Chains A and B, each alone.
Chain A
Amino acid sequence: MAVSRSSSRCSPLVKLAVNLGAVFALVLLISAAAPPEEKQISIYSNVANYSLPVTAESGHDYVGIFELLEPLGKVSLKTSGKQWNLHYNDVECDFQPGSDIARLQNQPVPLGTSFVLRNGRGLVPVGALTTLLPRLLGGPVNFHEAARRLFIGDAGIHFTAQIKNNPPDALEINFTARVNPSISTEPGKLVLVFTHDPVLPPGTTVLTFSSRSITSATYSENNGSAEITIAGTVPLFASFSNNGKTISVQPAPQQTASVTSAPKPPPTAQNGQPIASPSHPVYSRYYIVVDAAHGGAESGATLGNQLAEKDVTLAFARRLRDELEVRNVPVILLRDSDATLTTDQRASTSNQLHPAIYLCIHASTQGHGVRLYTALVSSGYTNRGPFLDWRMAQTPFLSSSQGAANAIAVELEKSHIPVRQLAAPLRPLNNIVAAAVAVEVAPPASGPSDLTSTAYEEFVASSIAAGVADLYQLPGAGR
């Protein structure tokens, strides 16, 4: 009762003050948690693609002219007092702090606002680049000023996007050159961000598709980056092929596979016994991701007679996929072509799939048998609250990884294949948020030439698959 009387006496002024205070607090909280994004400009040329910080001076955006030119050609600088005398290849340009006119080969070039000297750096207004650079570089430039993306000469990557039916409902984005975007997912969309790729806008910035899973792709540019946002009705993931020139976006397997093959539900406890012991974990997650290490421009080791590790790992990964599928273990091959993938891309793709186990395949001519590695996670990094350091993302899963390695080792030993378990500072193991094991396949005792023999590949792949299947306790698992 007392509460209701007090509430009734609460004046509108107090309520307003309280509400305003709450809003103020929230705004402060948000602004403190998310510092403003640093402004940058991206420069694309046939020589180099790079980004530079943009500095605000008197309400205008500025960029360091020396840093901008340095990757493009031979730059030298002479200073006389505050006068800046800059040579780019054979072109001479003078800047005077406080002056909004530069002298290029003794000809005046308006900068719009004054040249600024700050901490030894000569800053020119970003808006002056379209006037200044064509004369300095001796060629055309195309500046997307609102997004601060500067294209020099004929630098540029075009792309097309269309829905393909193999795999079903996949959006295939083909680029005219290799790209290396960062990929992120949010509910209902997948975002590709191109910072160091000179991706150019398509004819229409919004592409719509008559697909059940993928509805549109929207192109946008901002702060030195281009973005392609793919909207979908289901969770999406991206994979690379064609040496990084093609990105396929498709529904995450969890959605499609649940229709085609019903996974066995997690085993239930019997007679009061625990479902799993730490040494033999049972996984509630569903897929196995098999990742053939290396690929594309990154060949890995040279094995025997000029055989590249990337080809051996791909052949073995495909063999392992077949062996797992025979045992009803659903599997996704992360690299199924000669594509170049960074370790970050591999980790990011795998983490989006939330696999039960991530298996990374390597090959070597050193020693015999198979070596199984779990991540060696350095303790030199710190997690901040709920945010895991990328380099330590594997830490909570290390015991699961070791359990998976143990199970595989048991099956290899049963097959009399020499096996050794170690920890390795091997990326992307430490970035994987699931049980993660690297498998280094070495030749049999009969000699290095048998490393790639079909019989040996089958033998090793079969044993590893049996170990993985045992973890699953699926029907048909085991031998």
Chain B
Amino acid sequence: MNPRQLVITVVILVAASLGMALYAWRMQKHARTTVPAAYSGSVAPPASGSTEQATLFVADDSSGELQPQQASIPLSEDRQQRAQQLVRALLNIYLDKNSSHPIAPGSDVRDAYLVDPGIAVIDMNSAFADGHRSGILVEDLTVASLVETVAQNIPGILRVKILVNGQERDTLAGHADLSILYDVPSVNQMVGPSPSPSQ
């Protein structure tokens, strides 16, 4: 290697190093200053009472699948309120004494938030998670039914995050991972493809 080549190599190395240092510095600065997506969207008042047809994806323990079920429920114009109302309607089905997928008494949704881009955050109460039955399938059915119900009735939802009492939780009841964002298209792999609502 002649001196000219050596000098060119060194210049390239130094330039690359400076570039990387600048990149690392900017990344660190960005990490320090990035504020998590705020869940501070205003919450609309409760629904006025007009009902709409919605498709709830109801877990069925005997078949281990989700069954689409048409329901006429009061739904707000506000998308966040709408998500909360859909989840509450689903929970009411599970809280019925003849439920195909019973959940703990007192289970409720505390809030629902829609965060760009296309993320729904569902905040459940402690009773829901603390009293949930433990098992891979039984937990997956609950998670999948929540995700499918919200995603299929609110256009534009691509991913869903489930919180418990405002906090991230490792698992629902020892199995289903709640630390992740659930991709809507992949959720049907958890319980098999859902039959179409018309079926």
Contacts and interface: CB of A to CB of B under 8 A. Distances in A.
A21 B14 contact: yes
A245 interface: no
B94 interface: no
Contacts of B176: 424-426
Contacts of B143: 425
Contacts of B137: 364, 366-367, 371, 422, 440
Interface string B104-145: 000000000000000000000000000001111110100100
A438 B180 contact: no
Contacts of A28: 14, 17-18, 20-21
Contacts of B159: 380
A362 B138 CA distance: 13
Interface string B1-31: 0111011001101101110110110001000
Contacts of A367: 61, 64, 137
A378 B181 contact: yes
B41 interface: no
Contacts of B71: none
A423 B183 CA distance: 13
Interface residues of B, number: 44
B17 A18 contact: no
B174 to A, nearest CB: 5
Given A35-B28, A362-B136, A423-B186, A294 B174 contact: yes
B177 A425 contact: yes
B192 interface: yes
Interface residues of A, number: 46
A422 B190 contact: yes
Nearest to A21: B10
A438 B136 contact: yes
A302 B134 contact: yes
Interface string A322-366: 000000000000000000000000000000000000000010111
Contact of A10 (B2, B14, B192): B2
A10 B64 contact: no
B48 interface: no
A18 B180 CA distance: 49
A18 to B, nearest CB: 5
A149 interface: no
A259 interface: no
A25 B10 CA distance: 8
Contact of A380 (B16, B183, B191): B183
Given A18-B7, A22-B10, A301-B174, A29 B133 contact: no
A32 B177 contact: no
A291 interface: no
B190 A425 contact: yes
Given A21-B10, A35-B24, A300-B134, A422 B189 contact: yes
Contacts of B191: 422
A183 B3 CA distance: 47
A25 B181 contact: no
Contacts of A270: none
Contact of A29 (B4, B16, B175): B16
Interface string A239-266: 0000000000000000000000000000
Query: What's the dominant secondary structure at chain A's contact region?
Result: mixed
B182 interface: yes
Contact of B20 (A18, A32, A365): A32
A15 B90 CA distance: 75
A373 B177 CA distance: 14
Contacts of A31: 21
A376 interface: yes
Interface in A30-45: 31-33, 35
A300 B182 CA distance: 23
B174 A300 contact: yes
A391 B69 CA distance: 34
A283 B135 CA distance: 30
A10 B171 CA distance: 66
A197 B34 CA distance: 31
A366 B10 contact: no
B183 A379 contact: yes
Contact of B182 (A14, A425, A427): A425
Nearest to B61: A366
Interface string A392-411: 00000000000000000000
Interface in A134-160: none
A390 to B, nearest CB: 11
B20 A423 contact: no
Contact of A32 (B21, B140, B189): B21
A379 B118 CA distance: 14
Contacts of B4: 6
Interface in A424-459: 424-427, 430, 438, 440
Closest 10 A/B residue pairs (Cβ) = A28-B17, A301-B134, A423-B189, A25-B13, A21-B10, A32-B21, A32-B20, A6-B2, A425-B177, A364-B135
11 contacts: A14-B3, A25-B13, A25-B14, A31-B21, A32-B20, A32-B24, A367-B64, A380-B180, A424-B140, A425-B190, A427-B171
Given A25-B13, A371-B136, 10 more contacts: A21-B14, A22-B10, A24-B14, A28-B18, A28-B20, A366-B138, A422-B189, A424-B136, A427-B170, A440-B136
